[in-house]
Amino acid sequence: MPEAIEKISIQLKVNGKSHTVTGTHVGCDTTYCGACTVLLNGAAVKSCTMFAVQADGAEITTVEGMEKEGVLHPIQKAFGDCYGLQCGYCTPGFMLSAVQLLAKNKKPSEKDIRKAIAGNTCRCTGYQNIFKAIQQAAENMKGA
């Protein structure tokens, strides 16, 4: 039985205004970096350049929606186990792109993984541990 995790909500006051911080980030605001990736009806999309009206009636999943009942999604666990992140700014976007990949392809090749995350940019990791994390998640999700 995987260990349950504790959810922490981060609230900050910046220049006198309260903010609740989420994992979905704006990096470039030009559809380049993928830090803003969310799932829209199960498809990974770059939310920074979507119109709000495009999400009308849609089901949106952010990184906060990946864990269930305090248990990390296998992709989240694999990123931790494989050190697939450093600063973590890009990580929610990579994870959601991986969710989309593994929903469609249970045994992705390295080429499949490279293609699936081609729209996500990481300035820290050099990508190798991100590949390893997605490969490990695919292995751990076999039969799921």
Contact segment (CB under 6 A) with ligand FES among 13-21, 69-77, 117-125, 135-143 equals 117-125
| Residue choice 24, 36, 74, 78 for contact with ligand FES (CB under 6 A) | 36
Q: Is 103 in the site for ligand FES (CB under 6 A)?
A: no
| Residue choice 122, 134, 137, 138 for contact with ligand FES (CB under 6 A) | 122
Q: Which residues contact 8 (CB under 8 A, 6 or more apart)?
A: none
| Residue choice 59, 106, 124, 139 for contact with ligand FES (CB under 6 A) | 124
Of 100, 99, 119, give the one whose Cα is nearest residue 30: 119
| Residue number with CB closer to ligand FES (13 or 51) | 51
Q: Of all residues in the chain, what percent are helix, strand and coil, respectively (each to 5)?
A: 35, 15, 50
What are 117's two structure tokens? 């995350």
- Residue 91 CB, nearest approach to ligand FES (Å): 6
Contact segment (CB under 6 A) with ligand FES among 13-21, 23-31, 75-83, 105-113 equals 23-31
What are 125's two structure tokens? 């990791």
What are the DSSP E strand ranges found in the chain?
A: 10-14, 17-21, 37-40, 43-46, 60-61
